[in-house]
C-alpha cells in the first residue's frame, strides 16, 4: 500500500479522522498538519487500517482519548499551589534551623 493510501481504512476510521481533523482546524492548526495529526491519532488508537470481515478486528486503545481535557490533575489554582509551597518551605526551614 503506497504511503497516503487510505483504502484499507474502514468507514468508521475515516469518519473519526475527519472529525479529529476538524477539531484541530478549529484550534488554528494548518490543514496539512491537522490531517497528519488526525491520521496519526487514528493509527494510534486502532493500530492502522483494518480489513473488513467477521473476526478480523481487534480492540481499540482508548487511553489517549480518555486523557483529553485532563491536563492538570490538581484542583488548586496556581496561587494556591504557590502559597502552599511557600508555607511548606517555611516549615522545613524552621524545623531544620531549630
Parent domain of 12: 7-49
Domain assignment of residue 14, yes or no: yes
pLDDT at 72: 57
Domain assignment of residue 59, yes or no: no
Total count of domains within the chain = 1
Domain assignment of residue 64, yes or no: no
Domain assignment of residue 70, yes or no: no
Q: What is the pTM of this model?
A: 0.58
Domain assignment of residue 89, yes or no: no
Q: What does the pLDDT profile of the chain (98 residues) look like in tens digits? A: 456 788 888 888 899 999 999 999 999 999 999 999 999 988 888 877 776 666 666 777 777 677 665 555 566 778 888 888 999 999 999 998 86
pLDDT at 55: 66
Which residues does 90 contact at the CB level (< 8 Å), separation at least 6?
A: none
Residue that has been written with the C-alpha cell 481487534 in this structure: 58
Domain assignment of residue 17, yes or no: yes
Domain assignment of residue 73, yes or no: no
Domain assignment of residue 67, yes or no: no
Which residues does 74 contact at the CB level (< 8 Å), separation at least 6?
A: 81
Amino acid at each position: 500500500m503506497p504511503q497516503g493510501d487510505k483504502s484499507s481504512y474502514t468507514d468508521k476510521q475515516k469518519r473519526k479522522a475527519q472529525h479529529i481533523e476538524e477539531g484541530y482546524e478549529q484550534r488554528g492548526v494548518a490543514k496539512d498538519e491537522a490531517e497528519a495529526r488526525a491520521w496519526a491519532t487514528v493509527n494510534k488508537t486502532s493500530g492502522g487500517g483494518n480489513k473488513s470481515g467477521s473476526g478480523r478486528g481487534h480492540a481499540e486503545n482508548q487511553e489517549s482519548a480518555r486523557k483529553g481535557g485532563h491536563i492538570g490533575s490538581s484542583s488548586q489554582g496556581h496561587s494556591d499551589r504557590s502559597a502552599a509551597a511557600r508555607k511548606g518551605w517555611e516549615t522545613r526551614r524552621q524545623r531544620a534551623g531549630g
